[in-house]
Chains A and B, each alone.
Chain A
Amino acid sequence: MFGRMNRRYDTVVVGGGPAGMGAALGALDAGAGKVLVLERDGEAGGILNQCIHAGFGLQYFREELTGPEYAERFLAQVIDRDIDVMPSSYVTGLAVDSEGTKQVRVLNERAGLASIEAASVVLAMGCRERTRGSIRIPGTRPAGVLTAGLAQKLVNQKGYLPGKRVAILGSGDIGLIMARRLTLEGAEVVGVFELMPYSNGLNRNVVQCLDDYDIPMHLSTTVVEIHGRDRLEAITVAPVDAHLQPQLDKARKVPCDTLLLSIGLIPDNELARQIGIQLDPVTGGPVVSSTLETSLPGVFACGNVLHVHDVVDYVTAESLRAGGFAGEWSREIRRPKDSIQLVPGNNVRYCVPHTLSPDREHTVFMRVKQRVEPARLRVGGLMEKTLRFVIPAEMISLKIQPEMLDRFHGDRLTIDIDPA
């Protein structure tokens, strides 16, 4: 299989999920001749393949699709347009020679270790889940404590039910969706425990995944101990005070054989870190210019490896753009260097990209630190916009027009989101 493949591509994409497929199509649209997608798993599609619930594609396809349907529609385009997809392939390194050509080192189960040449590379490795180790829950280390996404893969693709009596820590959408999923499969979900005083998931998921099945959500509550020697037997939960500290005098024991953790996602950036790409400590993803180019020239990033998105439609939009710039790069088209630094101001946790150029329209994604309702978003003195509400769990997407930046002569543009 490997022997018949090219060893020289215009654009190589690392990761075959929605970001990687979008980037590959974007590169082709921008005129890249040969594009290769390297996928670690046995098939392309990424995490969409295990997200069997509906709710994808409302913006991009204008209809509600399940995850596998969204993935298959993209994969069909990728195959139609002669993009090479190499599954079961793990990228172990990336080197740049004196001419700027990239050498992508890839480990494939059949071909062994190989090197592929590329003019440009797109990083689209996605993200991974935070684990018990990330939040250091005290107690024993029995079987039955796993991330919500792993449980999703076990149930939806492998056909294993991880337990019969399930507690869920964290109210992110994956946790809520797994509460419903496990109920449909015959397990009892005893409750969702959320540290914060509000749910981190969408309201509609609280309604259709918890309320419909009378699954209780306990806000301002967390897991303080794990019990059980070989298998999980119970958890101790406790309410938290205003400083999020558990009130142990009010703790109670909840018997269960499974604890799902839905406590956040982190960009999977081992490769970027290893090759010395500059990372943003807030997003956990690379620092990128307005062409979504990382600190390594000709290496671009998009999707959840850049920053964690809430809906796949945004990932697709961003990836088509990143792939477009990577495709241009492979044709030796060089955009002018960005001249404006984008600075997160009041109540803005981060914005991506990190710099802008006045020569074209930009889409800026950002997240707030705190809930504000209603909110006023200000971009320097250039524009102002009122938003019904902003919450940390919902990403804000903002278009910035070139006419606006034309009038701007500074080199730092601050975004503030204050109460309106």
Chain B
Amino acid sequence: MSTENYVCIACPIGCPLELVHEGDQIVDVSGNKCVRGAKYARQEFTDPRRTFSTTVPIEGSNWARLPVKLAAPVPKDRILEAAQAVHQLRVQAPIRMGEVLARDLLGLDGVNVVATRSLGRA
């Protein structure tokens, strides 16, 4: 049996997590104060994923950039590739907060690019 140590990123508390496994089989998770921690450790062991925020160029607004987020996490080793794909998008004002700008980024189910603020016309 071996152990993996993680710091939970589900909330600002940052619980130190310990995951015990036998090969691919998870035996135990400890150190978490809530269920999200256990879920995070299992996910991190089997298929680590992250979401991120970035911006896309917007035309016709007072600001040069529209902030966006991913609606679902991408595999950790594809973050930079996903960021580059988001940066290819071009949008035009007006935009409403919550508007979906692209669906299933990199062919990943549910990884939509969502506007995180409204920007009217300049």
| Cβ 8 A contact of A68, one of B62, B76, B117 | B117
**How long is the Cα–Cα vector from A156 to B63 in the complex, in angstroms?**
9
B53 touches A54 (CB 8 A): yes
B51 touches A54 (CB 8 A): yes
Cβ of A69 < 8 Å from any Cβ of B? Answer: yes
**How long is the Cα–Cα vector from A156 to B68 in the complex, in angstroms?**
10
A208 touches B53 (CB 8 A): no
Cβ of A206 < 8 Å from any Cβ of B? Answer: yes
Q: Given the known inter-chain contacts A204-B7, A208-B50, A212-B50, please indicate yes or no for A69 contacting B64, CB distance below 8 A.
A: no
A208 touches B65 (CB 8 A): no
Smallest CB separation, B106 vs chain A (Å): 15
Interface string of A156-198 (1 = CB under 8 A from B): 1111000000000000000000001101110000000000000
A69 touches B12 (CB 8 A): no
B9 touches A52 (CB 8 A): no
Q: Specify which chain A residues have a CB less than 8 angstroms from the CB of B79 in the assembled complex.
A: 184, 212
Smallest CB separation, B63 vs chain A (Å): 5
B67 touches A156 (CB 8 A): yes
| Cβ 8 A contact of A159, one of B6, B55, B80, B117 | B55
Query: How many interface residues does B have (CB within 8 Å)?
Result: 29
* CB-CB nearest in chain B for A69: B116
Interface string of A191-225 (1 = CB under 8 A from B): 00000000000111011100010000000000000
Cβ of B118 < 8 Å from any Cβ of A? Answer: yes
Q: Specify which chain A residues have a CB less than 8 angstroms from the CB of B55 in the assembled complex.
A: 52, 155-156, 159
**How long is the Cα–Cα vector from A203 to B7 in the complex, in angstroms?**
7
Question: Which residue, B12, B76, B83, has most C-beta atoms of chain A within 10 A?
Answer: B12
| Cβ 8 A contact of A156, one of B57, B65, B69 | B65
**How long is the Cα–Cα vector from A244 to B6 in the complex, in angstroms?**
30
Q: Specify which chain A residues have a CB less than 8 angstroms from the CB of B9 in the assembled complex.
A: 204, 207-208
Cβ of A311 < 8 Å from any Cβ of B? Answer: yes
Would you list which residues of chain B between 26 and 60 have a CB under 8 Å from chain A? 50-55, 57
A157 touches B64 (CB 8 A): yes
Cβ of A66 < 8 Å from any Cβ of B? Answer: yes
| Cβ 8 A contact of B65, one of A54, A159, A204, A311 | A159
**How long is the Cα–Cα vector from A66 to B9 in the complex, in angstroms?**
15
Q: Specify which chain B residues have a CB less than 8 angstroms from the CB of A203 in the assembled complex.
A: 7, 14
A66 touches B12 (CB 8 A): no
Smallest CB separation, A277 vs chain B (Å): 32
Q: Given the known inter-chain contacts A55-B12, A204-B12, A206-B7, please indicate yes or no for A49 contacting B117, CB distance below 8 A.
A: yes
**How long is the Cα–Cα vector from A54 to B117 in the complex, in angstroms?**
13
Cβ of A248 < 8 Å from any Cβ of B? Answer: no
**How long is the Cα–Cα vector from A159 to B6 in the complex, in angstroms?**
34
Q: Specify which chain A residues have a CB less than 8 angstroms from the CB of B11 in the assembled complex.
A: 58, 204
**How long is the Cα–Cα vector from A376 to B92 in the complex, in angstroms?**
55
| Cβ 8 A contact of A157, one of B10, B12, B63 | B63
Cβ of A233 < 8 Å from any Cβ of B? Answer: no
Q: Specify which chain B residues have a CB less than 8 angstroms from the CB of A206 in the assembled complex.
A: 7
Cβ of B97 < 8 Å from any Cβ of A? Answer: yes
Cβ of A72 < 8 Å from any Cβ of B? Answer: yes
* CB-CB nearest in chain A for B119: A68
Q: Specify which chain B residues have a CB less than 8 angstroms from the CB of A159 in the assembled complex.
A: 55, 57, 64-65
* CB-CB nearest in chain A for B6: A207
**How long is the Cα–Cα vector from A71 to B58 in the complex, in angstroms?**
20
Interface string of A69-88 (1 = CB under 8 A from B): 10110000000000000000
Given contacts A54-B69, A66-B116, A68-B67, 18 further A-B contacts (CB under 8 A): A52-B54, A52-B55, A52-B67, A52-B116, A58-B12, A68-B116, A71-B117, A72-B118, A156-B55, A157-B63, A159-B64, A180-B52, A203-B14, A204-B8, A207-B14, A208-B50, A212-B50, A311-B12
Residues of A within 8 A of B (CB): 42-43, 49, 52-55, 58, 66, 68-69, 71-72, 155-159, 180-181, 183-185, 202-204, 206-208, 212, 311
- 24 CB contacts below 8 A, A to B, read A52-B69, A52-B116, A53-B52, A58-B12, A66-B116, A68-B67, A68-B116, A68-B117, A69-B116, A69-B117, A72-B97, A72-B117, A158-B64, A159-B64, A180-B52, A181-B54, A184-B54, A202-B12, A203-B14, A204-B8, A206-B7, A207-B9, A212-B79, A311-B12
